[in-house]
Structures are given as structure tokens and as C-alpha cells.
Amino acid sequence: MNVTGLAGRPGFMARNAVARSAVGPRSSLPVPRVSPFSTSTSLSCVNHKPGSANPSDSETNRPGSLADKYSAGLRQNKDWAANTARDHPDLFPTLATGQQPQILWLGCSDSRCPETSMLGLQPGDVFVHRNIANILHPGDLSSGAVIEYAVKHLRVKHVVVCGHTSCGGVAAAMGNKELGILDPWLLPLRQVRERNLPLLQSLSPEEAALKLVELNVREGLSVVTQKSAVLNAIQERGLQVHGLIYDVGSGVLRELDIQETEESLRARLVAFKTDN
């Protein structure tokens, strides 16, 4: 598809993206009054009303409250495990023996972007590295180790770099507010912004934020395909790399056109491929 057309698609508008904080729209939640390490939380509650919206902070923080997502999640885990075992009897016994994921997913930490759920896949299908704004620093040990392990040892078939609409990290990089530790983390995004400033300034704030999401995915793909393990896997066994943008407002993934010219691929192989 023509990726330059994405910015103009209504479904891909990052509503209020520029106004959001670096870590999302709910960054001002109060500190829970229960011990963060407590394991004695009661999971029982008799007053739960399914679907009741916007619980108060005091209700959310009450130990064992059904409005508290941690308590609810622990309780629901038992049902999930039982239902999954019933629907897929071989899944857990197979996973207990090891993993053979076909996909390496490099995405944003944003809570609205659960990769396995949005793909409709199961545990064991996706090997994952997520960080704020799905930024791939070339020298980052964490993402580098994940990529190398997934490609060389798990031998995944697909590597995905996925950005998303309304990304708080992208919104932060589009602004000029000091953010402490996030500033060095977001530096590659600001560098992409610098290199594409005339284009970004020609767009509306929403379109510019979405364009930076796309450019950041392309930058991440460039970093991934500068790694020798990835280049070797592309050449030797047809490893595929993909760029995606996830629309948090619709749940729909869009694939970017990342076709590379022969000349560009050849230059990449010459410059970055090393032998064992």
C-alpha cells in the first residue's frame, strides 16, 4: 500500500496525541495505599457490578476490590487457564516442553497494544520486546539480545516492528518539554523529527504525529536490518521483516510498504553483514 497516504486516512488520526503525556493519558493515578509487594490480598468480593464504569480511586485501591485490575486479573486467570485448556487441550502440555514462536514482535509498551491479543494468536506464538514508543537504539542490549535470540536460536520466520496511533512517546517527541530519563530514550525519535522537519511542519499536528509514528517504524526496521544475524537469516532462510501501524481506536493493523531496492539491500549487506 502507499504509506504516504496513511497520514490522510481518517481512521489513522491520532486524536489528541500531542496533548497526551509521554506515558499515556492516565499518568496521574495516585500511589496505591496497599503494599505493592503484598501477597495477602483477598480475592473475594460480593458487591461487584459487572460493567460498572469509572470506579473511584478509593474503590480501586481497596484490597480485594473487584474494581482493582490486579485482583480481578488474578481471579480471572483461573478461568482463563481452564477455558484455554478446554479449548486447546494440547497447548499447555506443548508449551511446557518449549517454545517455537514464528513471530518476533518489537512494539510499544502502551497498554492498548497487546500483540498476541490483537493478532488473535495464542501463548507461544509471539516472542516480544516492547518499550516506550517502540524505539530501537542500535546499541541497546535488551532489544539486541531479544532480536538475536529470536532470530538465531528460535529461528522466527517474521520480525515485526509495530508503532501505533496516539503514541504518548511520539507525542512527547513532537513537543519540547523536558522529561528527565525519557529524553535520552526518545532521542532517536527527535532525530527522526529533525531529519523530516519540513514534512512534519507541513502537516496538521495529528497528521504529523501519525507520520512520525510511521517514520519511527521505518527507522526501527533500518536498525533491525543492520544486524548481521538478521541479514544472515534473510539471505539463508528467507526471514521476513514487516512494518505495522496499529490503530488503537479501531483495533486494526495496517502494513507499511517497506519494499527495498536491490541496490539498497546490496549496500546493506556489504556494510553490515559479518560471518561467524
Binding site for Zn ion (CB under 5 A): 108, 110, 167
**Minimum CB distance to Zn ion smaller for 61 or for 131:** 131
User: What would the grid cell of residue 74 be?
Assistant: 488474578
**Which stretch of DSSP H or E encloses residue 233?**
helix 228-237
Exposure string for 133-161, b = 16+ CB within 10 A, e = fewer? bbbbbeebeebbebbeebbeebebeebbb
User: What would the grid cell of residue 76 be?
Assistant: 480471572
What is the nearest approach in angstroms of Zn ion to the Cβ of residue 220?
12
**Minimum CB distance to Zn ion smaller for 108 or for 221:** 108
108 marked as part of a ligand binding site: yes
User: What would the grid cell of residue 238 be?
Assistant: 528467507
167 marked as part of a ligand binding site: yes
**Minimum CB distance to Zn ion smaller for 66 or for 167:** 167
Residue 88 known to be catalytic: no
What is the nearest approach in angstroms of Zn ion to the Cβ of residue 169?
5
* Farthest CA pair distance, the chain: 66
What is the nearest approach in angstroms of Zn ion to the Cβ of residue 168?
6
Angle at alpha carbon of residue 165, lines to 161 and 166, rounded to 5°? 125
Residue 195 known to be catalytic: no
SS3 104: strand
From the candidates 62, 162, 167, 193, which is the catalytic residue?
167
162 marked as part of a ligand binding site: no
Residue 108 known to be catalytic: yes
Residue 158 known to be catalytic: no
Q: What is the DSSP letter of 161?
A: E
What crossing angle do the helices spanning 228-237 and 262-272 adopt, rounded to 10°? Answer: 130
SS3 51: coil
User: What would the grid cell of residue 73 be?
Assistant: 486479573
What is the nearest approach in angstroms of Zn ion to the Cβ of residue 14?
10
From the candidates 108, 162, 247, 254, which is the catalytic residue?
108
**Minimum CB distance to Zn ion smaller for 108 or for 233:** 108
Phi, psi of 97, rounded to the nearest 5 degrees: -95, -10
**Minimum CB distance to Zn ion smaller for 233 or for 248:** 248
> Is residue 21 packed enough to be buried (19+ CB in 10 Å), middle (13-18) or exposed (0-12)?
middle
From the candidates 20, 62, 68, 110, which is the catalytic residue?
110
From the candidates 75, 88, 112, 158, which is the catalytic residue?
112
What is the nearest approach in angstroms of Zn ion to the Cβ of residue 111?
10
Residue 112 known to be catalytic: yes
Decide the pairing of beta strands 158-164 and 103-108. Answer: parallel
User: Which sequence positions are flagged as catalytic?
Assistant: 108, 110, 112, 164, 167
Annotated binding residues: 108, 110, 164, 167
Annotated binding residues for Zn(2+): 108, 110, 164, 167
